[in-house]
Structure 1
């Protein structure tokens, strides 16, 4: 066999070997791991646990970069715009499922510009009221609000936030008229609720469990499918008479849309292993978060369903984000 003939026959094998080496070599340099919230936040804690594990597995640093602002949209947009193959991120429900409906000029399209690698963790929300509200359960609360239309107020961490949408959904289902008071963050909203300056709030469980345990607020319902281990005495919305109204705060692992599917699947699998570490899982569960760690297909279906549900509510009620 001539040299030219041998070289021609060997070319496909060499090409395949070259491609395999190129795929196996990723990442070739440090990877930016964008978290669109400040250090110490739950997304940051979750992201750092995942980043530490990915650094160990892939042999290159996964460097957490906190890009806070606009409810997570700024950091999420940074991942959507990345083109160098060495950027991934973690974000929350808003930037993936409601931002497009709330912000007409959103610079990215979640469905077009992002690959949803995995749903990582989720947390139920609690409907809580100030102790002065004369209601021992959800039915009593609904009756009290109906008897005082427009006189009671509820807080949230902003128009279009998860807590605002969950309360707006409950109000629409129950025919309630309450005044919405948006805040810039959980601390001030919680402070005003405890002080009685607002009467109610739907808030992620991690943000209110200490006040609930101290008796400074009363919980009427949890927005989960089942009761919370951290507050087993609180009934679900379904148990309290409002079926099919579950809602969660959740974190997802994301990558730019052009990321190869096999890489997305590998990242999802390794993120699941990171969050399954007993110490990490225990810390998250103590704060009211449940480790989910789905794969890409399940995550994509979940985000699509969340987008349809909440975007429909936003359009139907005419909800707008603050300017």
Structure 2
């Protein structure tokens, strides 16, 4: 065979890209949220889903898997192997869930891949207006004078709201009882109704009630005062030390998610947090938008484990606490 003949036969092989990859995504993407519709994680998830639907060319469908304080949804993300499943979750299920419950069927550190830290908001410690308490010092004094008579609600044992109050009570030697509920809005509703006396809830779930006088906000957990409640002092301003703790919302993928897809989704998630429609929707809900890279979320997870892990162990907090 002549040299020219061999070269001609080789042309079709050279014309075929050796590394050609199928287009992705090639079908709808499922975005699992471990909390009910209308919750703060759900609000963030739907804003991101709307942006991703536009830029990826495939529907991004929010799938609410409420229960277990967010761990049911996070577990579903960790176990997904279809290459088209992502998840939105919050601090506990995304960082310290395995510390709280060693029997949990997933490990947020090894089974979930951080994609982007989307947004955050501080926690607000609030009490029923009938309680004679207007700040943290008065809360301590009242609880000491009424041991065992105060209850506080949260979204569940080991949730950040639970840990904030449990650590505060332990530090001051207070005897107050934890009452878990299925959702943050439910815990706030119970404070409004007076069936529990207090809660530490994400700001977006309680600001409207505080402004309406249905609850009395007494402290915020962020590094600075909130623009939406400018007269509310922080924990630090009330002599409680730094309480730079937030209700954060993170975007995750299963640990086995392909790296090139992770990079693309992370970049698009960061862009989503700068998109005008997303900014309007989430700022109206009380979020501070972040839209970080994956490493910033990974760092936050390590920091939260270092902060809350010792508290969980010292107070022997378990899922049924």
Distance 2:268 2:206 in 1: 31
TM-score by length of 2: 0.90
- Matched residue SS, 1:250: strand
How many residue pairs align between the two structures? 319
Q: Work out which of the residue numbers 293, 300, 303 in structure 1 matches 2:301.
A: 303
Partner Cα distance (1:10, 1:296) in 2:
41
Within 2, Cα distance between the matches of 1:8 and 1:102?
A: 61
Kindly indicate whether residue 144 of structure 2 is the aligned counterpart of residue 146 of structure 1: yes
The equivalent residue for 1:137 is: 135
Task: Classify the secondary structure of the residue corresponding to 1:239.
Answer: helix
1:118 to 116, 119, 126: 116
* 2:92 corresponding residue in structure 1: 94
SS at match of 1:306: helix
Q: Aligned residue for 2:43?
A: 45
Counterpart for residue 312 of structure 1: 310
**Which 5+ residue runs of structure 2 have no aligned equivalent?**
none
Q: 1:170-199 CA distances to partner (integer Å, 9 max, x unpaired)?
A: 122333221222223334432332233322
8 A contact 2:127–2:199 mirrored in 1: yes
Distance in 1 (alpha carbons) for counterparts of 2:132 and 2:221: 21
Aligned to 1:278: 276
For the Cα contact (< 8 Å) 2:69–2:182, is it kept in 1?
no
Which of residues 79, 104, 107 is equivalent to 2:105? Answer: 107
Q: Give the match's secondary structure for 2:21.
A: helix
Query: Which residue in the other structure is 2:79 paired with?
Result: 81
91-100 vs 113-122, greater mean Cα deviation: 91-100
Residue 223 of structure 1, aligned match among 205, 221, 224 = 221
> Deviations 1:264-307 (Å, cap 9, x if unpaired)?
12212211222322232223222221111110111101111112
Q: Write the distance in 1 (CA, Å) between the matches of 2:306 and 2:4.
A: 63
SS of 2:236 mapped into structure 1? coil
Q: 1:302 to 1:6 in 2, by over 3 A?
A: farther
Contact 2:69-2:155 at 8 Å conserved across structures: no
Contact 1:153–1:199, Cα closer than 8 Å, also in 2: yes
State how far apart, in whole Å, the 2-side matches of 1:257 and 1:177 are.
41
Native 8 Å contact 1:125 1:163 kept in 2? yes
* CA distances 1:121-171 after superposition (whole Å, capped 9, x unpaired): 111111111223223322222222233332322222222222111101212
Helix, strand or coil: the match of 2:235? coil
For residues 141 and 260 of structure 1, do their structure 2 counterparts lie closer, same or farther at Cα, with a shift above 3 Å needed? same
Q: Write the mapping of 1:1-323 to structure 2, written as runs, cut at 5 A.
A: 17-19=17-19, 21-22=20-21, 25-322=23-320
Give the TM-score normalised by the residue count of structure 1. 0.90
User: 1: distance between equivalents of 2:164 and 2:6?
Assistant: 70
